[in-house]
Amino acid sequence: MRTRAGQHHQIELTNIRSGTSFDLETSVIPLTHFTFHCEVVPSTGGSTISQRLNISGPLGFVFGPIAGERIAASFESLLAGLATKAEGAEQATTGAPAPAKIDQG
């Protein structure tokens, strides 16, 4: 994975539930492990898209509070972009948009 800042990180997709959820795991800071849990859940009139971050490892307790807030701040725009793409795909196949709610966890 390449970040907006130009950094490159190895990622692994785990716990994949087709059409519902997955975990993206990576180590971006030494002695830490980041797990992003991403989920789409049907709700009244559309879907709820959520993403959560867990920072673990020997230094997770140090970097969790520092990096976690900054990373979580990017979730809203990321999930809004995902919702826009999903709604566009739904509209292209059915002719009607499927509204999405965003939950930053």
So where are the chain's domains? 11-103
Residue 99 clears pLDDT 70, i.e. is over it: no
- In angstroms, rounded to a whole number, what is the distance separating the alpha carbons of residues 102 and 54? 18
- In angstroms, rounded to a whole number, what is the distance separating the alpha carbons of residues 97 and 105? 24
Instruction: Give the pLDDT score at 91.
Output: 54
Count the neighbouring beta carbons within 10 Å of the beta carbon of residue 64. Answer: 17
Tokens (6 digits) for 67: 């990096």
Whether pTM > 0.75 for this model: the answer is no
Q: pLDDT per residue over 3-58, tens digit each? A: 667 777 788 999 999 888 899 999 988 899 999 998 888 878 778 888 889 999 99
CB 69 within 8 A of CB 61: no
Torsion, CA 56, CA 60, CA 66, CA 70, rounded to 10: -20
How far, rounded to the nearest angstrom, does the alpha carbon of residue 72 sit from its chain's CA centroid?
Answer: 9
